[in-house]
Amino acid sequence: MIETKKIAGLAVATLLTVLNSANAQDDILVLDDDVPFNGDFTFDDDLFSSAFDEGSSANSSSWLDDFTVKISQQFSGQINTHGIEIAPGITLPREAELETNRLGANIRYQNAFAPGWFLQASAQIRIYLHDDYQFRAEGDSIDIESRGNEFFLQRSFNQHSIKLGRQTVVWGETSGNSVLDVINTTEFRDFNIIDIEDARLNQWMLVWDYFGEDSNFSSFVNLYPEFNPAAVRGSPFFFEPEFNLTDYERGSSMLIEAGTQWRKSFQGSDISIMAAYLYENQLRHEDPASLMGDAVAETNDFFLLGFSANRAIGKLLLNFDLAYSHDVLADSFSFPGTASLANPVNLKKDQIGTSFGFEYAISNEQSVSLGMQAQMLLDEDEGLLPGQSLINDGVFGSWLVRYSNTLMNSDLVISSTLQGDLAANSLLALLGADYTINDNWAIGGQIISITSNEESPLLFFAEDVRLSATLTYSF
């Protein structure tokens, strides 16, 4: 209960601090109650004269203009004290506690420094403060983590564009759970990251785009394929493994991924066809031969063929993705954020998957979207030992429903997300609100509730309720 109050108190304090800051502006006027709009009234257009002054000095740009900085403070915690029965008679206690208390900065640099050239870089710094799970994991001391995200140089000429450096490549039309969005690795470190857009990690790639008269080609070579990082010690997804989960030992082996996509737009529709040679983003960990030391990380390469299309019909947008994967590991769990919980067997299969859905603009302020992802291993029983079965048999996958409502001239966005697996073993419900206070300040809040039965790895989070608040300052 104390922890619950603490989390709520921090959220309220954040809100009050921001509102106070936002109101601390110059030239606040006391307004007349009755505004007489009948007939003429005077309007001082000089109010916006600074815009035209700015126009005359538009060319006096500064190198600082190339930087965009976002500073954020985030609190979140699990607020429902309860117990989870993981086996008959065995209950796992779940205490309400603060999980994150972190100050972060995201910095982006973009510079078209010469005709046809463009440089982009971004990085993030996180300071894990008191009671953050990483603070506790570091022995109750403040921990600072920094990470480079994007860093690429682009050269465009004629109908070509070449980008070299750390970047992302996104395939597929379905938002949030496309079966084709498998090029980049992801990190769902905790429940504050729900959207896959926020979870993608950049990799070192060479990307060549060809923009033709009627269609485009986009090809990539991943020069240093990386893998989904293991859960950070102390985070909600972290479970003490029997053996330490280590990164893949590359040794002298050289890993390379490559793929290409052809894309064409028609009236009301876009289609893409793609093919790639990839490594599965999730490593497979085997027990050490001596049953001592660290687990052994193994990679798995596979081929992907894909097709994607969309179709706009008035306010309705239909999305469709189709993927055929050759030689994937049989037991890959598809629910975002729980991949590290899977324990795949060393059995290669072919897999066919599809993701499809729609986005519908109810009005200019409201929209709803639905995405379904379904996958199926072909010849799933082949190669299994007697009594052995796959974690995912038959058709498996997930679904995602999103609703958003934009209020107060886009200052306030209320959104909700429901996400579950096709077998109806788990459900994640999110309600969020983001309020833009002014051009620099924004605040957001989320409530996340999880329900699960014993068939889902999300059982460990069943009945969890998480509350979070994030304050952001951008400049």
CB of 198 or CB of 242, closer to another protein: 198
* Amino acid (1-letter code) at residue 25: Q
How big is the site for another protein, counted in residues (CB under 8 A)? 79
327 sits near another protein (criterion: CB under 8 A) = no
Binding piece for another protein, criterion CB under 8 A, among 12-20, 235-243, 359-367, 419-427: 359-367
293 sits near another protein (criterion: CB under 8 A) = no
Binding piece for another protein, criterion CB under 8 A, among 124-132, 378-386, 434-442, 453-461: 434-442
Give the nearest distance from C-beta 347 to another protein in angstroms.
32
CB of 224 or CB of 475, closer to another protein: 475
438 sits near another protein (criterion: CB under 8 A) = yes
Q: Tell which positions 222-251 bind another protein, by CB under 8 A.
A: none
416 sits near another protein (criterion: CB under 8 A) = no
* 8 A C-beta contact, residue 430 and residue 447: yes
Give the nearest distance from C-beta 297 to another protein in angstroms.
27
Q: What is the dihedral of CA 385, 387, 390, 391, to 10 degrees?
A: -150
Q: Running DSSP on this structure, what letter comes out for residue 56?
A: H
Give the nearest distance from C-beta 181 to another protein in angstroms.
9
Gap between the Cα atoms of 176 and 399, Å rounded: 10
197 sits near another protein (criterion: CB under 8 A) = yes
| Residue 31-50 contact track with another protein, rule CB under 8 A, x = bound | xx--xxx---xxxxx-xx--
389 sits near another protein (criterion: CB under 8 A) = no
Contact pick of 1, 2, 20, 27 for another protein (by CB under 8 A): 27
Structure tokens at 76: 């979140």
* 8 A C-beta contact, residue 430 and residue 465: no
264 sits near another protein (criterion: CB under 8 A) = no
Structure tokens at 147: 């990470």
Q: Tell which positions 98-157 bind another protein, by CB under 8 A.
A: 110, 112, 115-118, 120, 154-156
Structure tokens at 200: 């993608």
* 8 A C-beta contact, residue 373 and residue 173: no
Residue 264 neighbours by CB distance under 10 Å: 13
- The three-state secondary structure class of 412 is strand
Gap between the Cα atoms of 296 and 85, Å rounded: 31
Give the nearest distance from C-beta 117 to another protein in angstroms.
6
Q: Tell which positions 148-187 bind another protein, by CB under 8 A.
A: 154-156, 161, 168-171, 175
Name residues whose C-beta falls within 8 Å of residue 278's C-beta, 6 or more positions apart in sequence: 182, 183, 225, 257, 259, 301, 302, 303, 304
Distances (CA, A) of 268 to 174, 180, 298, 318, 419: 16, 22, 44, 10, 29
